[in-house]
Amino acid sequence: MLGITVPNEKRLEIGLTCLYGIGIPSARRILDQVGIDRGKKAKDLTPDEENKIRLLVEKIPIEGNLKREIAANIKRLKDIKSYRGIRHAKRLPVRGQRTKTNSRTIRGNVRKTMASGKRKESKT
């Protein structure tokens, strides 16, 4: 679908989530609008059902378009030098999380404590 292969063996409500920008709630909404059972496998779809799903999915920004839109939004925040833009530029948490502890993934696994580093071998 749109250049991305939906797994045949998984249920449709899970299989559609392999598209970037579609999570479980939006996949359920799409299937409910089309009138297809959520538990149906992708390999069991008729071409008509597949086309109905494709039409709804094409209306939603997904994959490359969505990634470009998100990158443009972040760039705009950086350009106007907003607080959130500055946090993005410094690679710090943007949404008000604390940084004294936690935020290891965004900053890298930096531990600056006395116990870090190599352990000294004991003399025996």
pLDDT of res. 58? 86
pLDDT of res. 70? 92
Q: Is the pTM of this model over 0.75?
A: no
Q: Containing domain of residue 87, as a range?
A: 64-93+101-107
SS3 at position 101: coil
Tell me, yes or no, whether 16 and 49 share the same domain: yes
- Cα separation, 61 vs 13, in Å, equals 18
18 in a domain, yes or no? yes
Tell me, yes or no, whether 47 and 19 share the same domain: yes
Domains held by the chain: number = 2
2 in a domain, yes or no? no
Contacts of 84 (CB under 8 A, 6+ apart): 77, 94
pLDDT in tens, 49-78: 888 888 888 888 888 889 999 999 999 999
37 in a domain, yes or no? yes
89 in a domain, yes or no? yes
Cβ atoms of 8 and 41 within 8 Å: the answer is yes
pLDDT in tens, 10-53: 888 888 888 888 999 999 999 999 898 888 888 888 889 888 88
The CATH number covering residue 45 comes to 1.10.8.50
Q: With both helix axes pointing from N to C terminus, report the angle between 24-34 and 47-59 in degrees, rounded to the nearest 10.
A: 130
